[in-house]
Amino acid sequence: MDIRAIRERAFLNRAGLPAYSVLLLALILSAIAWYFAQRTVVAHERNHFNRAVTQTIIALNLRMEAYTTTLHGVAAIFAASENVTRREFRTFVETVDIERRHPSIHGVGLIRRVRAAERAGYLAAMRAEHGANPCGYPDVSVFPKEIRTEYYLIELVEPILVNRELFGRDVLTEPACLEAMERARDSGEPAVTAPVRVVRGDQERLALFMLMPLYVRGQALETVAGRRAAIEGFVFAQLLAEELFGGIFGKLENPRIDLEVFDGEIDTGRLLFDNDRVLHALHSAGNPHFTQTVDFEAGGRRWRLHFTSLKVFHDRWLATLPLAILLTGSALGVVLFRVNIAQSRHAHERQRHTTVLEYQATHDSLTRLVNRDYLYARLQVTFEQNDPRPRTSALLLIDLDRFKEINDTLGHQSGDRLLTDLGARLRPLLRPDDVLARLGGDEFGLLMQGIGDVHEARRTAERILDEIRRPFELDGISVQIDASIGIALYPEHGRDAVTLMRCADVAMYIAKRNNAGHALYDSTLDPHSPRRLTLLSEIARAVDGGELLLYYQPKVDMQHRRITGVEALARWDHPRSGLILPGEFIPQVETSPLVRNFTLWVIEAALTQCLRWHESAIPVQVAVNISARNLADSELPDRVAALIERHRASAGCLEMEITESALIADPERALAVLTRLHGLGVRLAIDDFGTGYSSLAFLKKLPISTLKIDSSFISGITEDDNDAVIVHSTIALAHNLGLTVVAEGVETTEQRDLLEIIGCDQAQGYLFCRPQPASKIDAFLRRGLPVH
Ligand code: C2E
Ligand code: CA
Ligand code: CA
């Protein structure tokens, strides 16, 4: 099984559960709906069937009652008159309109009891009537030949035209009639015969005779014997079975139910009626089908009515409804299942996507450590608890030294490897609650929550440094790096994330500056300490409001021991704090837009002072310090040109000192500005030389005339051979490039002498003169020579 199939199966296992439940539920509900629909359909049809059965029985009952009533009417005319002629009988039948009112009655008539003794007289009378008025009757010819004690002869029957074969028949010869006659005679009630075959036209049909006894008037009829003695004959109605039942059924117009009528039992009795044998075949396969058997009492005989629903009885659409419900329900279930699966998959994908996004938002993709945002959020959560006696936590800011070099020399891939390896090395040093984050570049942050004391943070910092200093193997090259770690404590140094992070940052710079590995935050060393932050807000006023002033420090020509120039150094005469040194406010000025006006003010003040000295016949040059931000200001050269012109000064008396680091930030732009300043005739010097990494080759491209060697080299020059060698070779190379070399921070005569020996051109330092206000330095300059 491939990985996709495994993942799919795992997904279905988890997310598929609700979907499968929905499917199962839908199938169960469909099955239940199917079951109930089925039952409802069956109940509905059963009801329909039962109604049809009941209606048939009611109709049959009404019909039989109507026949009985009709026969009573027929009997009444014989009771009323001794001798009813054929004509009278026909008139009666026509008046009652039996044929139309009862279509299934195919004849009514009279059966006369004729005793053997009466036979001859009776025949004669009949013949006489026939002779006088036959009325459509045939002659009496079919009289039974054999001699019996009595005969029951059909004497009258109407309509005679269709019933001629009945006329004159002795019904005693018909067993079915005999049985019914005896019943009617004995009970005095109408009786119905078993079916009798009769010929109708050229067809044989099944007929039923309903017989009503006629007794001799005035006889006692209470007992069977009395009734037997008094019997005179019967009136009868001939019913065709097919038309009797068919008429009822036809009226009900219900061909969808089969009716079979038996005289007697279903199996043994005779079939009186079957409404359609062709349709009958249809119901055999019909399932479910309904059957019902009803016993019907008719004139002393028992009929058995057998109803069966035919296939067509069952509504095809209604029958398919339950199945349709089942199928639709199941299909719906499957659709829901698929929709559910699709939705779950969608939700799953979205969840995964969100998780990935969340991970990306809070993690560093390279080292897989959490990022700056996450660390800030954690700091905030930790500090938001507003605990009155919070536990001490430490924030360690780790900054790698020399990382940029590795990136530049070995390539980014190696740099990335180093960072990844470092993350892996540091992880085992962490306690479970510690949060190690990559803040960006070569900076890492470690939050240690709930530490015992500051020593614990220091010990961790040392262990981290040990790990960092252990060589890294990068593509077969062993590389060694170092780091500086700043430590800030919560709540001692800050109670919010931003402050604590800044304190750790300050501590890290202290560690870096002092080459100490790690350092704890110290507010007195913080350029952003509250006092400094207040100063920043006041600096704008200082620049515009005359609180700034310039001190000057002479530069001494080593060969002639003469002052050749002065360097202007800014001071802030603060109304409350007194004199503030540039180290405390210049960095703030440099990071604000004030820097342009500040520098222009310094240049103008220095230029004004320089012109004053020139007027007093003191031919000094004045040097001003230009910050890195000024070199990014393309308007500066024009502004300087305007100043020089306004004061009618010579550009040659102005020198500008630019630190090495200022040049490195954006060399192209710096070069453009410097070239234009040089074009004005302003002299340019590189300040603090040796602290940056600029090569002499780079300096060669610059339009500079002077190099100022940083005081850190000069201070060690007499003790440290290394420093002496560096200064010596720097002077030699600078001279090669035609540059003047100035040594900064000369404090001792030994330093001065050594510098003189190795050919340094000029020197500047406390040994000769501390920076002083112009007024105090005047006399010094007039003398033209330094004290030493
Ligand atoms: P920098 O340009 O290197 O100036 C020389 C610094 O060394 C001055 O410090 C000076 O007082 C000090 N110094 C001179 N001789 C000795 C010595 O023998 N021993 C010791 N230990 N120090 C000596 P300062 O005046 O505090 O100025 C510090 C820095 O502030 C300057 O360093 C310069 O970078 C900056 N700065 C001063 N004024 C200005 C200014 O007007 N504009 C700009 N952009 N920066 C200025
Ligand atoms: Ca300087
Ligand atoms: Ca300097």
* Residues 682-720: tens digit of each pLDDT: 999 999 988 766 666 777 888 999 999 999 999 989 998
pLDDT band for position 788 (50/70/90)?
low
pLDDT over 70 (residue 675): yes
pLDDT at 283: 46
Q: 707 CA distance to ligand 2 centroid (A)?
A: 11
Q: What is the mean pLDDT of residues 583-594?
A: 78
What size, in residues, is the chain?
Answer: 788
Going by pLDDT thresholds of 50, 70 and 90, the confidence category of residue 578 is: confident
**pLDDT at residue 399, rounded to an integer:** 92
The per-residue pLDDT for range 300-310, each reduced to its tens digit, is 889 998 888 87
- Whether the per-residue pLDDT at 104 is higher than 80: the answer is yes
Nearest to 671 by CA among 643, 694, 641: 694
Ligand 1 contacts CB of residue 690 (under 6 A): no
Q: List residues bridging with 270 in a β-sheet.
A: 263
**Which of 500, 482, 493, 525 lies closest to 397, judged by CA?**
500
Residue 589: per-residue pLDDT: 82
Please give the residue that has the higher pLDDT: either 365 or 755: 755
Task: Supply the pLDDT for residue 2.
Answer: 59
pLDDT of 586: 87
Please count the other Cβ atoms lying within 10 Å of the Cβ belonging to residue 249. 22
pLDDT at 649: 92
**What distance in angstroms lies between residue 711's CA and the mean position of ligand 3's atoms?**
7
Ligand with the closest atom to the CA of 689: 3
Is the minimum distance from the CB of 588 to ligand 1 under 6 angstroms? Answer: no
Q: What is the rounded average pLDDT of the residues 5-16? A: 66
Q: What residue type is 283 in one-letter code?
A: H
* Ligand 1 atom with the shortest distance to the CA of 766: 18
Compute the average pLDDT of residues 164-169.
85
Percent of the chain with pLDDT over 90: 34
pLDDT digits 0-9 by tens, 354-407: 888 888 888 888 888 998 889 988 888 877 776 777 788 999 999 998 888 888
Of the candidate ranges 117-121, 223-227, 423-427, the one whose mean pLDDT is the lowest: 117-121
pLDDT, greater one: 250 or 395: 395
Residue 495 dihedral angles phi and psi, to the nearest 5°: -115, 10
Ligand closest to the CA atom of residue 685 = 2
User: Which residue puts its alpha carbon closest to atom 22 of ligand 1?
Assistant: 745
Distance 583 CA to ligand 1 centre (A): 8
Query: Does residue 642 surpass a pLDDT of 70?
Result: yes
Which ligand 1 atom minimizes the distance to the CA of 657? 2
> Ligand 3 centroid vs 543 CA: distance in angstroms?
23
Q: What's the N-to-C CA distance of the chain in angstroms?
A: 93
- 715 Cβ below 6 A of ligand 1: no
**Residue 270 half-sphere exposure toward CB, CA atoms < 13 A:** 12
Model confidence at 552, pLDDT cuts 50, 70, 90, reads very high
602 CA closest ligand 1 atom index:
41
Q: What is the mean pLDDT of the chain?
A: 86
Q: Is the CB of 625 under 6 A from ligand 1?
A: yes
Ligand 1 binding pocket includes 56 (Cβ within 6 Å): no
Whether the model pTM is above 0.85: no
Q: Is the CB of 627 under 6 A from ligand 1?
A: yes
Question: Which of 90-104, 225-239, 516-530, 681-695 has maximum average pLDDT?
Answer: 225-239
Q: What are phi and psi of 375, to 5 degrees?
A: -60, -40
pLDDT of amino acid 527? 63
Rounded to whole angstroms, the Cα distance separating 425 from 195 reads: 116
Whether residue 491 contacts residue 457, with contact meaning beta carbons closer than 8 Å, is answered with: no
Instruction: Assess whether pLDDT exceeds 90 at residue 38.
Output: no
- Model confidence band, residue 636 (pLDDT cutoffs 50, 70, 90): very high
- pLDDT of 567 above 90: yes
582 pocket-lining for ligand 1 (C-beta < 6 Å): yes
- Asked if the model's pLDDT at residue 278 lies above 60, the reply is no
Q: What is the pLDDT of residues 281-329, one digit of tens each?
A: 544 555 557 888 999 988 888 999 888 887 767 677 777 888 888 888 8
| Count of other CB atoms within 10 angstroms of residue 341 | 19
pLDDT at 21 (0 to 100) = 84
Question: Which of 112-121, 276-285, 767-776 shows the lowest mean pLDDT across its residues?
Answer: 276-285
Cβ(315)–Cβ(46) below 8 Å? no
Distance 660 CA to ligand 3 centre (A): 10
One-letter amino acid at 608 equals T
Residue type, 638: D
Residues around ion ligand 3, judged by CB within 5 A, are: 687-688, 744
Is residue 6 pLDDT above 90, yes or no?
no
Ligand 1 pocket residue status of 600, Cβ below 6 Å: no
| Site to substitute for ligand 1 among 569, 744, 769, most atoms within 8 A of C-beta | 569
